[in-house]
């Protein structure tokens, strides 16, 4: 039996919030790194810390099965992720599109796996 099936709804929501926050931080760090020419805003030590954080998230996402990896990348790792809805991803970005039920199943499994891979503490 998969872990995602034995978690309570409250656990799933807490894990989802924690992983979403981690992925949001990833997007922020990636945007800071994109401004490398303006490195006066942070030290080289901070720069290395940012790079390690990004590589850690990218490595965790790359461990996911293809469908889950695609979902996480399209929904949470794009620069405009704050403006992308779940329905946009399952209707328009998956080709062919998938059902909302399949999307939720993939997303929940991916989020729980990322929580473990990233060591998210809200579990």
Give mean pLDDT in consecutive 10-residue pieces for the chain, a chain of 123 residues. Answer: 76 92 91 68 75 93 96 94 93 94 95 93 53
**pLDDT recorded at residue 50:** 82
**Which three-class secondary structure state does DSSP give residue 42?**
coil
**pLDDT recorded at residue 33:** 78
Kindly tell me the number of DSSP H helices and DSSP E strands found in the chain: 6, 0
Q: Where are the domains of the chain?
A: 7-118
The model carries a pTM of: 0.85
**pLDDT recorded at residue 85:** 93
* Cα–Cα nearest to 7, from 113, 118, 119: 113
């Amino acid at each position: 039996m998969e872990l995602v099936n034995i978690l309570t709804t409250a656990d799933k929501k807490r894990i989802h919030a924690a992983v979403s926050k981690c992925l949001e931080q990833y997007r922020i760090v990636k945007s800071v790194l994109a401004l490398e020419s303006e490195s006066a805003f942070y030290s080289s030590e901070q720069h290395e810390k940012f790079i390690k954080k990004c590589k850690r998230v990218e490595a965790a996402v790359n461990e996911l099965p293809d469908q889950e990896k695609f979902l996480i990348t399209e929904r949470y790792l794009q620069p405009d992720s704050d403006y992308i809805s779940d329905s946009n991803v399952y209707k328009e970005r998956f080709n062919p599109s998938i059902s909302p039920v399949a999307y939720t199943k993939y997303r929940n499994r991916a989020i729980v796996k990322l929580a473990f891979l990233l060591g998210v503490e809200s579990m």
